[in-house]
Structure 1
Amino acid sequence: MGRKSIKDIRKQEIIKVFYKVSRKIGYANTSIAKVAKVMNINPSLIIHYFASKEDLKDALIDYLLERYLLIFKIDHEKDYGLAELHEIIDRLFSKKWNRLFDDSLFYGFYAESFRDKKIRQKYVTILDSLRSTLTIVLTKLNERQLLQLADPSHTADLIFIFLDGAYFYLSLIDDKTIAEKRLNQYKEEIYDLLRLTR
């Protein structure tokens, strides 16, 4: 694997600061000038790498979606057992998810996907990838008769439908104790769906 070029490193730095500023003051209030000020550089340097705020937004969405994937790293070659499946479910229904990316930005761009086909395709690609990966794990467990699922692909889809709804709802709840309690209840529902015990 080759080393990253200075250009790639610089672009990543800009995207990360753009993310931090957008997270703090909102995407609509963030400008190239404000990002440059935080970085203590001339705005023209950012424009050298990103011709417009729109280009920077595209890179930011990619960055957010890449972070979204971090919670769900799976080795396609590995023979997963029930212990690993429990670990996957625990990762999916955990607070780590919230620490990886900002809900307001994630759902703000998600809302834009209804008007912007390019953004929509980015979200569809990532979400389909997650479903596909979980389907592979559930199928392998089914083949080893560790699970008895009629349709692993449908089950994986149901888990992500449940997960998407749960996280959107929980992102609106300020009381952390209630959010944690509900998250654990949702996790139990998934164990029931998979006919597993904790």
Structure 2
Amino acid sequence: MGRKSLKKERQKEIIEAFYKVAKKEGLENTSVAKVAKEIDVNNSLILHYFNSKDELIFGLINYILENYKSLYNPNHSGNSHTKLIKTIDNLFSREWNELIDDGVFYSSFALVFRNKAIKESYKGMHQSLRSYLAAIIKEAQADDIVAIENAEETAELIFILVEGAYYYLSLYDATTEEYEKKVKRYKEAAFTMLKIKEEVR
């Protein structure tokens, strides 16, 4: 059990180093040698845990997912209405936007057009994020907080809005008033999709 835990810790350390190097130099310029240098180990140790750069990318995708999951705040104390509001606030927050470097995210995402396994891995990540949001929406449905019919469909539409928003917003300076206005408008659109009942607003 201890050995398995050590393996996971080592893999996490390598993935975090891979992410740091990719953030500094670009994913296309990141190599096993550079990752090894980042954490001051031999190349062979990296290859002991990950057979190739593609395997490192699979690990990176899981790392991205784990980071995004942290903002779903599953242990949030409060009712389903508070939890839903907090989750949507998080999805459109600066914190969500800055969790993962855009250059690393989009560079690794571009590989879905050339690598079927990476495409499936990304697809799984996106499905997981939608499922987490759908579960929170279903709680609100059960408590008669929202007037929607299909939680999964609503979660998917909200994520399409989130992903499209940040793709578009990456073209703007995040410190400007214009940027903040756009984020506010997109978040309001997400709340409109949820059809939160007047009496619980």
TM-score normalised by structure 2 residue count: 0.85
**Offset of residue 161 of structure 1:** 1.0
CA distance in 2, matches of 1:39, 1:153: 41
CA distance in 2, matches of 1:80, 1:118: 39
Q: Which residue of 2 aligns with 1:34?
A: 34
Q: Which residue of 2 aligns with 1:116?
A: 115
The equivalences for 1:99-114 within 5 A come to 99-114=98-113
AA matched with 1:91? N
**Per-residue displacement from partner, 1:63-118 (whole Å, max 9, x unpaired)?**
2222222222436xx98432221111101110111232111111122221122221
Q: Where do 5+ consecutive residues of structure 1 fail to align? A: none
Q: Which residue of 1 aligns with 2:168?
A: 169
Partner secondary structure for residue 72 of structure 2:
coil
TM-score normalised by structure 1 residue count: 0.86
2:187 pairs with 1:187: yes
2:14 pairs with 1:14: yes
CA distance in 2, matches of 1:144, 1:70: 24
**Offset of residue 187 of structure 1:** 0.7
Partner secondary structure for residue 101 of structure 1:
coil
Structure having the larger proportion of residues in helix: 2
Structure 1 pair 19–192 and aligned structure 2 pair: CA distance change class (3 A): same
CA distance in 2, matches of 1:74, 1:13: 25
Q: Where do 5+ consecutive residues of structure 2 fail to align? A: none
**Contact 1:141-1:147 within 8 A present in 2 as well:** yes
**Offset of residue 13 of structure 1:** 1.2
**Contact 1:15-1:59 within 8 A present in 2 as well:** yes
**Contact 1:147-1:194 within 8 A present in 2 as well:** yes
Partner secondary structure for residue 113 of structure 1:
helix
AA matched with 1:62? N
Q: Which residue of 2 aligns with 1:92?
A: 91
CA distance in 1, matches of 2:93, 2:120: 26
AA matched with 1:47? L
CA distance in 1, matches of 2:90, 2:67: 14
CA distance in 1, matches of 2:121, 2:181: 32
Structure 1 pair 152–8 and aligned structure 2 pair: CA distance change class (3 A): closer
**Contact 1:36-1:43 within 8 A present in 2 as well:** yes
**Offset of residue 124 of structure 1:** 1.6
Structure 1 pair 57–129 and aligned structure 2 pair: CA distance change class (3 A): closer
CA distance in 2, matches of 1:10, 1:136: 32
Structure 1 stretch 64-73 or stretch 179-188: which is displaced more?
A: 64-73
**Identity score, percent:** 43
Aligned length: 195
Structure 1 pair 42–150 and aligned structure 2 pair: CA distance change class (3 A): closer
